[in-house]
Amino acid sequence: MFEKLLAMEERYDDINRRLSDPEIISDIAQYTALMKEHKTLSPIIEVFRRYAGAKNEIDESLALLDTETDPELRDMAQMQLESAKESCTELEQELKILLLPKDPNDEKNVIVEIRGGAGGEEASLFAGSLFRMYSMYAETHHWKMEILNASPTELGGYKEICFSLEGTGAYSRLKYESGVHRVQRVPETESQGRIHTSTVTVAVLPEADEVELEISPTDLKFDVFRASGAGGQHINKTESAVRITHLPTGMVVECQDERSQHKNKDKAMKVLRARLFEQMQQEQNARIASERKTQVGTGDRSERIRTYNFPQGRLTDHRIGLTIYRLEAVMNGDLDEVFDALATADQAAKLAGQEA
């Protein structure tokens, strides 16, 4: 690890020198690439230099203890040695985490699909609650949200809603949300006050661009139809809704949220590209069994990942055994505690996988 870090420090210093070169500054593409690499290396090198400083303190303290006879100076050297050793241990662990392979999708924007599952209208209402929760979280992080497609119900829920989130690190925060979310609460539709259990499926897809995933036009079938909505709302008299079928996979995407057929087509293509990209990655991950073991959850949409118990104000994430009793705050978008715990568990699993 030490040799790898020394090579990274050498590269970091080289980038710093090159970034002050007028020729590099005038070449926007090269300058941007170097700045991106500099940003990636900076936190690693900062911790590494603190680690190297702590190692030097250990060597100096040991040398002083070997030669010094004054009791006070020896006590000071011993205290410095213990402090430096403690710092070294902490910084070494921090470096191991920083050196873990980065998920190439972490900085991507995301497409989130929420679908009501078991529970009828109550499941649709909870799909609306989850959409509100993610929307409020996105707002606190100043991410841009755009609804791509929605099938609202008369009571204000959603049979299905698909939306995109654009912002720094969107995928890195939301990537653990794919799976089945279970809710236990008294439904608004229930007059007897009995607690019902319903489920909602969430899928989080990294947004893919045309460079990453090329789709042949001959593989696509386009259909247009009139848009419809809950209770007769938003019904178009023109055929603005778009359905795209990807013939090789049979994958179908519909979009009817916009009045313009062209805009609906663009949104549908964005969703289709993300779904195909996710499918490609799932197939890739399935071939790498060891990597799959180090993931927090499989990302499988059929895996029950979390329970929201409203009578007890409790949220439980079943993958990592996390239970917190502030459900109202979570439903209002205060999700960082949950996301931080999932990221930490994922890092720990990956570290254990490397050391095994």
Contact by Cβ (8 Å): 196, 188: no
pLDDT of residue 347: 83
The domain spans of the chain are: 2-98, 110-349
Averaged confidence pLDDT in the chain: 84
Q: How confident is the model at residue 299 (pLDDT cuts 50, 70, 90)?
A: very low
**Per-residue pLDDT for 331 more than 60?**
yes
pLDDT of residue 274: 84
State the pTM of this model. 0.67
pLDDT of residue 232: 45
| Range of weakest confidence among 17-31, 165-179, 209-223 | 209-223
Higher pLDDT: 351 or 127? It is 127
- What is the spatial distance between Cα 66 and Cα 144, in angstroms, rounded to a whole number? 61
**Per-residue pLDDT for 22 more than 60?**
yes
Q: Where are the beta strands (DSSP E) in 110-240?
A: 110-116, 144-152, 158-166, 179-185, 196-206, 220-225
User: Nearest to residue 256, comparing CAs of 242, 273, 270, 274?
Assistant: 242
| Range of weakest confidence among 17-31, 227-241, 315-329 | 227-241
| Range of weakest confidence among 19-23, 114-118, 351-355 | 351-355
pLDDT of residue 355: 58
Amino acid, res. 33: A
pLDDT of residue 211: 53
- The fold adopted by the segment(s) 110-349 is Alpha-Beta Plaits (3.30.70)
Contact by Cβ (8 Å): 276, 208: yes
CB atoms within 10 A of CB 327: 18
Q: Report the share of the chain in percent with pLDDT over 70.
A: 87
Domain at 2-98, CATH class: mainly alpha
pLDDT of residue 288: 45
